[in-house]
Amino acid sequence: MDAPKALVEDLLRSLAAGPRDYAEVMEAWRTSCPRLPVWEDAFDAGLLERFRAGDEAKVRLTAAGCAALAGPRT
């Protein structure tokens, strides 16, 4: 993972309460900066997933994302 762990943890915490709209998450977390790929690193690590709820695209934590939040904080 290239992104600082604290930022990935912040992203996971933002999804801990439940699924959020994909567009909302992308607006807050996507970056074009190659040194700060928070969304990309979390997604590539399998910590969150995209899914459809009717006509809406959503994002939620995976089991691995929940486990990462339950582990020791950095």
Q: pLDDT tens across 4-18, in order?
A: 888 899 999 999 999
In a domain, 74, yes or no: no
Q: Which domain holds residue 16?
A: 5-69
Q: Domain count of the chain?
A: 1
Contacts of 9 (CB under 8 A, 6+ apart): 68, 69, 73, 74
DSSP at 1: -
Is residue 43 in some structural domain? yes
Note the pLDDT tens digit of each residue in 21-61. Answer: 999 988 888 776 766 788 888 999 999 999 999 999 999 99
The pLDDT value given to residue 2: 58
Q: Amino acid identity, residue 31?
A: T
- Which domain CATH number covers 14? 1.10.10.10
Question: Rounded CA gap, 74 and 26, in Å?
Answer: 24
- For 18-67, the DSSP string reads S-EEHHHHHHHH----TT--HHHHHHHTTSEEEEEETTEEEEEE-HHHHH
